[in-house]
Amino acid sequence: MNSSAPGRLPYPPVEPYASGHLEVDELHRIYWETSGNPQGVPVLFLHGGPGAGCMPAHRQFFDPAHFRIILFDQRGAGRSLPKAEIGANTTAHLVADMERLREFLGVEQWLLFGGSWGSTLALAYGQAHARRCLGFVLRGIFLGTTDEIRWFLHDMKMLHPEAWRGFCEFLPEVERGDLLTAYRSRLNSENAGVHEPAARSWARYEARASTLLPNPELVGGMEHDALALARIEAHYLAHSLFLAEGQLLRGMGAIRDLPAIIVQGRYDMVCPIAAADELARAWPEAYYEVVPDAGHSAFEPGTLRALAGAVEAFKQLLPLAAEAQQDLPQKAKRSRRRGTPKSQPDADKPADDGKTAHPRSGAAGSENPSAREAGKSRRRGARKKSKDAAAKADTPVPQEI
């Protein structure tokens, strides 16, 4: 399987029924939107980057008949204003924005779904506001440590030397001793002739390392309009994500009793698996799945399947209220595509595709060949049943970090 090709999203496109901008301080107005079932289980999507912004495809991870799907663009990202603004833009600001958005939308508690930087922000928010969280679906774990930042800026050259060389050689030789400072000086310039080429170089570097196999479409997509991603990401990296070293692991006691599913690509080069492994060991109650044939992108086929299974598991754990179900038209009540998994495997049983549940049935994230064969058999039947429905929903999928 070509894992660089986008997989199929679990649900067809859905349009927001409400959207707007929320003023969070004198400088920033964050874009928000809601789609799906207005009376459904609230789920908040946290995009990556920081600075990447949300896309319409992000709504398609969730059953619109079951969930009230909430997307927002973080400060300076996507459709939030002012665009690419790094002033008053820290992790603490984003956590506070999430709380303000929750109150504005009248949400008591919500499920958090975040990948890459979105996983970092989900953990930071959860540890600050645990009683507002129903649970977590986390992908491509990033804990904001010194080792992870050094890996991205320097050590990734061990496995992606061509991409790193292009990233480095964009700068004059005299400035290559401090890549982050040199890039920030360009990215923060008001001159478009200076910041735009630097932003494209930064985004190209990240995109080339984001999939297991090369994906030119992803590279081209991330290079387009790359300033917010590159400028805000460099700003956060320069300040160690505005987190103390080891802060998120030390704070796990606040959320360990909440349900969580962690999905990690084995060959994720942007957010290496060591961070997910650390988080899983600090959170033994969480279900931890390693996707054996995936890199960093959420849209690689194996990762998409794992995320779809995770969301379906939370559908079982967080049932729709009877009054919300009664308000739905009949067609919406049957909107779950045939062939999507109904729940995540029990923690004491081998998971489909040969992944073992963490931590009771073996080493965290290990792969079980006999279980893999059984999983293949079950999936063949599921794929056959869902073939017609899938064809209707098989629309081009954008990529993200």
- List b or e across 59-96, with b for residues whose CB sees 16 or more CB atoms inside 10 angstroms: bbbbbbbbbbbbbbbbbbbbbbbebbbbeebbbebbbb
In the listed set 212, 241, 270, which residue is the last one of a domain according to the structure? Answer: 241
In this predicted structure, the answer to whether residue 359 has a pLDDT above a threshold of 80 is no
Whether residue 58 is found in the same domain as residue 138: yes
Whether residue 201 is found in the same domain as residue 53: no
Whether residue 354 is found in the same domain as residue 295: yes
Query: Is 152 within the bounds of a domain?
Result: yes
Mean predicted confidence (pLDDT) in 329-349: 39
Mean predicted confidence (pLDDT) in 49-67: 97
Q: What is the number of structural domains in the chain?
A: 2
Q: Is the pTM higher than 0.85?
A: no
- Looking at residue 6, its pLDDT comes to 55
Catalytic residue annotation: 116, 268, 296
The CATH number of residue 325's host domain is: 3.40.50.1820
Whether residue 318 is found in the same domain as residue 306: yes
The conformational region for residue 277 under phi > 0 = left, psi -120 to 50 = alpha, else beta, is alpha
d(CA 158, CA 150): 12
Whether residue 31 is found in the same domain as residue 178: no
- Tell me what the pLDDT averaged over the chain comes to: 85
Whether residue 225 is found in the same domain as residue 365: no
| Digit-coded pLDDT (tens) for 63-98 | 999 999 999 999 999 999 999 999 999 999 999 999
Whether residue 274 is found in the same domain as residue 139: yes
Query: Is 23 within the bounds of a domain?
Result: yes
- Parent domain of 159: 147-241
Query: Is 138 within the bounds of a domain?
Result: yes
Query: Is 202 within the bounds of a domain?
Result: yes
Residue 7 pLDDT level (bands cut at 50, 70, 90): low
Whether residue 138 is found in the same domain as residue 270: yes
* Residues 6 or more apart whose Cβ sits within 8 Å of residue 73: 30, 31, 32, 47, 53, 54, 79, 80
